[in-house]
Amino acid sequence: MSASRNGNAPADLFLRIVAGELPATIVHSDDLVVAFEDADPRAPVHVLVVPRERHETVAELAAAAPATLARLVQVAQRIADERCGGHFRLVFNSGEDAGQSVPHVHGHVLGGRPLTWPPG
């Protein structure tokens, strides 16, 4: 559910990080998105980019706030440019069966080594 339908759920881990209530290594912050190091990295570069507003899936974010989704992708590219020569994978998990553990859309910026395929 998006923020407009469900409010800013206090249990939302990412909203708490964005608000500064929980510690995280922030690598980017602006009016639309925040990026921080993943607490359990799966690659040498593993940064999460999250919108400040809560939307559960990337499809919901695209429908409700396409400019925010575009900004998220721009920030992901900038992080990849700075940390892994611009070569990266940007992953969005949508739903529990796809591996989404926090119901707040987030892009995983993965890189820093050759990534295999298929991913899962």
pTM of the prediction? 0.89
Calculate what percentage of the chain has a pLDDT beyond 70.
90
Cis ω before 44 (30° cut-off from 0): no
Q: What is the DSSP string of 79-113?
A: HHHHHHTT-EEEE---SGGGT--SSS--EEEEESS
What pLDDT band is residue 118 in, cutting at 50, 70 and 90? confident
Tokens of 46: 């593993």
Which residues does residue 46 pair with via DSSP β-bridges, in sequence order?
110
Give the active site residues.
106
pLDDT > 90? residue 7: no
CATH numbers and ranges of domains, the chain? 3-111 (3.30.428.10)
